[in-house]
Amino acid sequence: MDLQYLVREPEHITAETPVLFMLHGYGSNEEDLFSFVQTLPEEWLVISFRAPKNSNYGGYAWFDIDFNNPNNFIDEAEANEAVKTVIENIMAVSNRYGLTNNPTHLVGFSQGGMISYALALQYPELFSKVAILSSYPEEKMLRNIVKDKKKLEHLRFFISHGTDDAVVPLDWGRKAAEILYDLSAYFSFREYMNGHGVNQKNYMDLMEFFRK
């Protein structure tokens, strides 16, 4: 399945051009995170994917979510199929641009963050910087993660969460710190006085993470 996407191309593209893939949240679209391009490094290629499903609340979804059933929040098979779709599209876009010796970065918000955790921990050799916003690591999507710490040591995670998030509880988000600590992965976990979104301080810290 070919995903639709928005793209910002740098002036020059080589085999070593850094690329950032963006994965929006449930009920949103590819324009959401793409607004970040104004302050991202100009030499990066930026790709913002649109999820393939129509959500029940307008916008698009990577997979269905049952908000009324926190014990069975996601359909495992459908969620992992979404992860497979995204990795196939990441590889296809990278091949299209001839990116063979470049850093590949991820940013995912909410449901897109769930996929970002799965991608980074299942295919750590493919990614460098991974930013996950207002999300949580879903265990049903992490059954096949790489546990070889040597293969994970080059990854850098930036994780942010609002203290007043009413969609994805902060306690869910904090599980990431336990998982990444056990894997000896490099990460920063930051909490902001915010709801289910990205406030100005969160945004500034995210841009600093990408720039340094």
Q: How far apart are CA 174 and CA 101, in angstroms?
A: 33
Q: What is the pLDDT of residue 119?
A: 98
Are 46 and 34 a contacting pair, CB within 8 Å?
yes
Q: How far apart are CA 12 and CA 202, in angstroms?
A: 30
Helix H or strand E encompassing 4:
none
pLDDT in tens, 138-162: 999 999 999 999 999 999 999 999 9
Radius of gyration of the chain (CA): 16
- The conformation of residue 56, written as its DSSP 8-state character, comes to B
% pLDDT > 70, the chain: 99
pLDDT in tens, 179-198: 999 999 999 999 999 999 99
Could you tell me the fold of the domain covering 5-211? Rossmann fold (3.40.50)
Q: Which DSSP string do the residues of 127-173 spell out, in sequence order?
A: -SEEEEES----GGG-TT----HHHHTT-EEEEEEETT-SSS-HHHH
Q: What is the pTM (predicted TM-score) of this model?
A: 0.96
Domain ranges of the chain: 5-211
Q: How far apart are CA 156 and CA 124, in angstroms?
A: 10
Q: How far apart are CA 15 and CA 37, in angstroms?
A: 21
Q: Is the pLDDT of residue 168 over 90?
A: yes
